[in-house]
Amino acid sequence: MKMKITSSNSVQRATRRWGLFFLGPVTAAFIIGFIWPFLQGIWLSLCRFKTISNAKFIGLDNYVKAFSDVGFRHAFWYTTMFTVVSLVLINVLAFAVAYFLTQGIKGSNLFRTVFFMPNLIGGIVLGYIWSMIFDGILSWWSTSILLESKYGFWGLIILMCWQQVGYMMIIYIAGLQNVPGEMLEAARIDGATRTQTLFKVTIPNVMPSITICMFLSLTNGFKLFDQNLALTGGQPFIIQPGGATIKTTEMLALNIFNTFNASGGSSQGVAQAKAVVFFVLVAGLGLLQLGYTRKKEVQQ
Partner 1 sequence: MNTQKTLSAEARRKATLSAVLAVICVIYVLPVVAVVINSFKLNTFVKTDTFALPTGNMWAGFENFIKGMTFGNYPFAKSVLYSVVITLLSTALILLCTSMAAWYIARVNSLFCKALYFLCVFSMVVPFQMVMFTLSKTANSVRLLGFWGPHLNTPWTIPIIYLGFGAGLAIFMFVGFVKSIPLEIEEAAAIDGCGPLRTYFSVVVPMLKPTMVSVGILEIMWVWNDFLLPYLVLDKNLYRTIPIHIQYLKGSYGTVDLGATMALILLSIIPVIVFYLTCQKHIIAGVAAGAVKG
Residues in 164-193 that interact with partner 1 by CB under 8 A:
167, 170-171, 174
Q: Which stretch binds partner 1 (CB under 8 A): 66-74, 82-90, 235-243, 271-279?
A: 271-279
- Residue 46 touching partner 1 (CB under 8 A): no
Q: Interacting stretch for partner 1, rule CB under 8 A, among 66-74, 80-88, 97-105, 176-184?
A: 97-105
CB count in 10 Å sphere of residue 50: 13
**What is the four-CA torsion angle of 274, 275, 277, 278, rounded to 10 degrees?**
120
Q: What values do phi and psi take at 246, rounded to 5?
A: -105, 125
Q: Residues 54, 103, 195, 300: which binds partner 1 (CB under 8 A)?
A: 103
Interface residues for partner 1 in 113-142 (CB under 8 A)?
Answer: 113-125, 128-130, 132-133, 135-137, 139
The residue among 213 and 246 lying less far from partner 1, judged by its C-beta, is 213
Which of 156, 144, 151 shows the shortest CA–CA distance to 82? 156
CB-nearer residue toward partner 1: 140 or 241? 140
72 part of the interface to partner 1, by CB under 8 A: no
Q: Which is nearer to partner 1, 11 or 81 (CB)?
A: 11
C-alpha–C-alpha distance, residues 109 and 114, integer Å: 9
Contact call for residue 57 and partner 1 (CB under 8 A):
no
CB of 254 to partner 1, least distance (A): 9
CA distance 160 to 141: 24
2: amino acid identity, one letter:
K
Q: Can you name the residues that pair with 239 across neighbouring β-strands?
A: 245
How many Å from the N-terminal Cα to the C-terminal Cα in the chain?
Answer: 31
